[in-house]
């Protein structure tokens, strides 16, 4: 047994040197690292600017020649060349022309007037690839930031921001459903213009101004969706 | 090295003391346990020493081999280091070049954004001017249409009034003729005159109404 001890010792030394004293060869080249996705970019400001720019692009200026006068209002374009505005903007239409933000003039015809809401739908003869609005699935809650776009006074497009003050259930100007009350600046000419959320989706259609409180009033998008789904629009009589 | 019991260690670890020389042993007196006690010889004889020697040689050979291999490994690591250094320098250079390009593009983008904003503002202003001009054109057209309609109404009412006057004069002349004939003793039937009177009166009333409507339309025209 004593003789095997040096042998074991030598083997151990040999193994130890081999196992611990050696440096391994370089490993194979690892594959090239993949490009990592950009993360945590602060895109809030560009996104907001994009929403504002987009909101101007989907909003059109409406010139409606009625029986007695020339009316100016606002509206917005939906897919399929459909334009939504207020009934009182295009009531008794003889000639309706849309002006886009970039200066195009497009003829439109009044397809229908809502009976129990201040809504109307027009059809463009040629939508010419106009940017279209996206409708929000539901009406915003009080406190929700909103954007009102329109052509007040028949002048250039304006964008005003505010929040939803409340949703009133009272009968306001003959509206059958609730009305959105906002503190965004609304003036004559904003009628028919879109009320948008922060994502640029339409949450309402501006139709009036409460002169007592200074708050703007808008038909909720749910009312618009109901009327569009039910095709609850009457054809204009055309009579003056 | 082990020393058999009872024998001095031939390789003392203590310092050699020259003053007391070690006793010289005669060969015959050398204690050889292997010869004097053959039964107590360790198994293998020189075998273990040879084995140890072989193992030592083996270890040495392996060491040489491992050393050579490690030199190869070191060379490979140096090569890898040089490659990595080159790649790092290349990547740094590429990063610097990309940063310069990025700065240039950012500057260009900033300029473009400014241009886009300016042009968008200009487009919006022009679109507004165009819309206002179209409003004016539409208003003027409405007014022109109204004036044209009014002029037609006026012309029509004037014609009607002229016709009324003509009919009245004719009726007056025929009435006077009938009166003169009746005065001369002629039997005169006034029924046709009465019928014409009613027709003329109705016609003239219509003409006056048309003239009144034209006057109202003229007053309704925007100034």
Minimum Cα–Cα distance from B221: chain A residue: A68
Q: Is the dihedral of CA A182, A186, A188, A192 positive or negative?
A: negative
In whole angstroms, give the CA distance from residue B80 to residue B88: 12
In whole angstroms, give the CA distance from residue A220 to residue A202: 9
Q: Kindly report, residue by residue over A89-104, the tens digit of the pLDDT.
A: 998 788 899 999 999 9
Residue B133 touches chain A, beta carbons under 8 Å: no
In whole angstroms, give the CA distance from residue A29 to residue B79: 12
Residue ranges for chain A with pLDDT beneath 50: 1
Name every chain B residue with its beta carbon within 8 A of the beta carbon of A100. Answer: 127
CB A11 within 8 A of CB B60: no
Pair type for strands A134-135 and A201-210: parallel
Q: How many domains does chain B have?
A: 1
- pLDDT grade for B25, boundaries at 50, 70 and 90: very low
Q: Kindly report, residue by residue over B26-51, the tens digit of the pLDDT.
A: 444 445 544 545 545 555 567 788 88
For residue B209, is it within any domain? yes
Q: Of all residues in chain B, what percent carry a pLDDT higher than 90?
A: 46
pTM assigned to the model:
0.66
Q: What is the pLDDT of residue B43?
A: 56
Minimum Cα–Cα distance from A46: chain B residue: B113
Q: What is the pLDDT of residue B52?
A: 86
User: Among the listed ranges A55-59, A81-85, B110-114, B211-215, which one has the minimum average pLDDT value?
Assistant: B110-114
- Taking the CA of residue B80 and the nearest CA in chain A, the distance in Å comes to 8
DSSP string, B129-150: HHHHHHHHHHHHHHHHHHHHHH
Q: Is the ipTM of this complex over 0.90?
A: no
Averaged over B192-213, what is the pLDDT?
A: 93
- pLDDT grade for B142, boundaries at 50, 70 and 90: confident
Q: Of all residues in chain B, what percent carry a pLDDT higher than 70?
A: 79
Domain positions in chain A are 48-234
Residue B43 touches chain A, beta carbons under 8 Å: yes
Q: What is the pLDDT of residue B6?
A: 44
For residue B156, is it within any domain? yes
Name every chain B residue with its beta carbon within 8 A of the beta carbon of A97. Answer: 134, 138
- Which of B74, B124, B138 is closest, CB to CB, to A157? B124
Query: CB-based contacts of A174: which residues, under 8 Å, 6+ apart?
Result: A116, A117, A118
Q: What is the pLDDT of residue A224?
A: 93
- Count how many pairs of residues, chain A against chain B, have C-beta atoms within 8 Å: 95
Per-residue exposure over A81-100, b if at least 16 CB sit within 10 Å of its own CB, e if not = bbbbbbbbbbbbbeebbbbb
Q: What is the pLDDT of residue A21?
A: 60
Structural domain boundaries, residue B159: 141-180+188-220
Instruction: List the single best residue of A1, A3, A17 to mutate versus B (max B Cβ within 10 A).
Output: A3
Interchain CB distance below 8 Å, A18 and B62: yes
Burial class (CB in 10 A: 0-12, 13-18, 19+), A48: middle
SS3 content of chain B, % helix, strand, coil (to 5): 80, 0, 20
For residue B23, is it within any domain? no
Query: CB-based contacts of B77: which residues, under 8 Å, 6+ apart?
Result: A23, A26
Q: Which residues of A are catalytic?
A: 88, 118, 191
In whole angstroms, give the CA distance from residue B40 to residue A93: 133
Tell me the residues of chain B between 65 and 124 that have a Cβ less than 8 Å away from chain A: 66, 69-70, 72-74, 76-77, 80, 120, 123-124
A48-234 topology per CATH: Thrombin, subunit H (2.40.10)
H helix count then E strand count, chain A: 3, 14
- Which of B124, B134, B139 is closest, CB to CB, to A105? B134
Rounded to the nearest integer, the mean pLDDT of chain B is: 82
- pLDDT grade for B9, boundaries at 50, 70 and 90: very low
């Amino acid at each position: 047994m004593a003789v095997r001890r040096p042998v074991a010792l030598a083997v151990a030394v040999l193994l130890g040197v081999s196992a611990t004293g050696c440096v391994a060869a370089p490993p194979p080249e690892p594959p090239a690292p993949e490009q990592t996705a950009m993360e945590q970019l602060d895109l809030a400001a560009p996104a907001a600017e994009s929403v504002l720019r987009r909101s101007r692009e989907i909003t059109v200026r409406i010139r409606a020649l009625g029986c007695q006068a020339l009316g100016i209002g606002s509206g917005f374009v939906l897919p399929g060349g459909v334009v939504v505005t207020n009934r009182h903007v295009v009531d008794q239409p003889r000639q309706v022309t849309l002006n886009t933000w970039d200066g195009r003039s497009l003829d439109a015809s009044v397809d229908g007037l809502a009976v129990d809401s201040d809504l109307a739908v027009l059809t463009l003869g040629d939508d010419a690839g106009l940017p279209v609005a996206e409708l929000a699935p539901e009406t915003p809650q009080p406190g929700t930031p909103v954007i009102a776009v329109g052509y007040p006074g028949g002048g250039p497009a304006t964008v005003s921001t505010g929040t939803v003050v409340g949703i009133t259930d009272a009968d306001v100007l003959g509206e059958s459903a609730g009305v959105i009350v906002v503190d965004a600046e609304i003036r004559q000419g904003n009628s028919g213009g879109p009320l948008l959320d922060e994502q640029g989706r339409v949450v309402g259609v501006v139709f009036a101004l409460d002169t007592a409180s200074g708050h703007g009033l808008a038909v909720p998008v749910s009312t618009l969706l109901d009327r569009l789904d039910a095709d609850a629009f009457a054809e204009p009589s055309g009579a003056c | 090295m082990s020393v058999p019991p009872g024998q001095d260690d031939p390789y003392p670890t203590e310092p050699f003391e020259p003053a007391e020389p070690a006793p010289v042993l005669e060969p015959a007196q050398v204690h050889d346990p292997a010869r004097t006690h053959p039964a107590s010889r360790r198994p293998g004889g020189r075998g273990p020493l040879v084995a140890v020697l072989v193992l030592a040689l083996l270890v040495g050979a392996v060491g040489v081999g491992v050393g050579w291999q490690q030199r190869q490994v070191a060379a490979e690591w140096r090569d890898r280091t040089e490659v990595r250094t080159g790649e790092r320098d290349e990547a740094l250079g590429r990063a610097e070049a990309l940063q310069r390009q990025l700065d240039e593009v950012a500057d260009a983008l900033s300029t473009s954004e400014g241009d886009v904003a300016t042009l968008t503002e200009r487009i919006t202003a022009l679109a507004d001017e165009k819309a206002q001009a179209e409003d004016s054109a539409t208003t003027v057209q409405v007014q022109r249409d109204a004036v044209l309609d009014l002029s037609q109404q006026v012309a029509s009412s004037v014609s009607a009034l002229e016709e009324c006057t003509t009919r009245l004069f004719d009726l007056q002349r025929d009435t006077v003729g009938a009166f003169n004939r009746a005065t001369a003793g002629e039997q005169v039937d006034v029924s046709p005159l009465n019928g014409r009177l009613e027709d003329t009166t109705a016609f003239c009333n219509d003409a006056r109404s048309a003239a009144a409507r034209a006057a109202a339309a003229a007053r309704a025209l925007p100034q």
